[in-house]
Amino acid sequence: MKSHKSSSRRKSGIPTAKKTSKIKLIFNPRSGSGLILPLFSNLLFPRKKKRLSKTDHPEEHLREILKQLQVNGIYPEPAVIMSPTAATAMARDCARENYALVIVAGGDGTINAVANGLVGSQTAMGVIAGGTANIFGLQMNIPADLPGACQRIAQGRQITIDMGKVNDRYFTCWTGVGFDAFVIKQTDWKLKKIIGTLAYLVAGITSLFVYPFRHVCFRIDGQASIQRGYLLIVGNIKYYGGKTVLLPRADMQDGLLDVCVFKKRGFFSFLAYFWGLRLEALSKFLDVEYSQCRKIEVLDRKQHVQIDGDYFGSMPVKIKVVAKALKVVV
């Protein structure tokens, strides 16, 4: 499989550091509390929330972010949002009003929401990662610390990346069909507030006993043959949670989606998958298939679906890659 290097596709010249540029900062003070990581990652690699700054107070968070941006010559219009819907609407308005840059300060869920508002536009997205996992930032090699992230936005380059699309919703990282989406749906949010990531472990173990493990039936790239599995992960990035690599050939600029299909069902099979993922040894499993494609049609009417770690619903879905869909400063 040929490799794709992003350095040759980089494009400089974003006016991110000019005071005259129209720049918006979208800040989510709830970052890290709303995104549920995929099941495998929570069972094996529980992660503590990374803070945007040294303080626990949202107002101080925002002040520190603005201070660091201004140190780098960036003077954005700040906006505090409390929901993904609000983030998407605000980003869409910025794209319509020809903003040069929208900076999102939040976790992967907020990044997904802003990306959905900017997709297809000339407005670039800058990222200050502050959620539970920060998978997008990890993939794009964006500094995890606040001063480093702000400096990268000021001095970085613009690239254009692909996005995945599930029906009418875009994703930056991945979508899952089957078991992991069911676990996300089953996770008790009240319990999560009490015991944190252990709530995912409770939901995951319980789900192994009650989940019906129906076949996920799908077609790849319009082929006549129908393929089957019990969990389908379609990704735009190589990570599935934390630093766990599930899709090693994934490249956000190759015009392809990477697909991992888990072919066996049941408690012990999925425990083996968990362990294989932890050891990054799934390529040795004969019942795990890896491929690349441009589109997938899931035929089942009652399969659970998640997008970037948020439960999407139970429905037939069409998944496809949208090439060169989003401009990002890296």
Per-residue pLDDT band for 55 (boundaries 50, 70, 90) equals low
Question: Is the pLDDT assigned to residue 56 strictly greater than 60?
Answer: yes
How far is Cα 145 from Cα 188, in angstroms, rounded to an integer? Answer: 31
Position 174 in a domain: yes
Sorted by sequence, the CB contacts under 8 Å of residue 190 that are 6+ apart come out as none
- Rounded to two decimals, what is the model's pTM? 0.84
Task: Identify the pLDDT of residue 133.
Answer: 67
How far is Cα 101 from Cα 60, in angstroms, rounded to an integer? Answer: 23
Position 88 in a domain: yes
Q: 37-41, 53-57, 298-302, 326-330: lowest mean pLDDT where?
A: 37-41
CATH code of the domain containing 19: 3.40.50.10330
How far is Cα 125 from Cα 148, in angstroms, rounded to an integer? Answer: 16
Give the C-alpha distances (Å, rounded to integers) separating 62 from 22, 57, 146, 182.
19, 9, 11, 35
Top-confidence residue, 200 or 37: 200
Our count of domains for the chain comes to: 2
Per-residue pLDDT band for 33 (boundaries 50, 70, 90) equals very low
Pair (93, 231) in one structural domain: no
CATH code of the domain containing 302: 2.60.200.40
Q: Angle of helix 198-210 relative to helix 179-186, nearest 10 degrees?
A: 120
Pair (214, 314) in one structural domain: yes
Average pLDDT over the chain reads: 86
Pair (178, 158) in one structural domain: no
- Which one of 136, 162, 188 terminates a domain? 162
Give the C-alpha distances (Å, rounded to integers) separating 158 from 121, 228, 292.
13, 39, 26
Which burial class, exposed, middle or buried, applies to 3 when counting CB atoms under 10 A from its CB (0-12, 13-18, 19+)? exposed
Per-residue pLDDT band for 266 (boundaries 50, 70, 90) equals confident
- Domain with 230, as residue range(s), is 169-325
Token pair belonging to 4: 């794709």
Task: Identify the pLDDT of residue 151.
Answer: 96
Pair (206, 123) in one structural domain: no
Pair (242, 279) in one structural domain: yes
Task: Identify the pLDDT of residue 192.
Answer: 66
Top-confidence residue, 39 or 308: 308
Task: Identify the pLDDT of residue 205.
Answer: 84
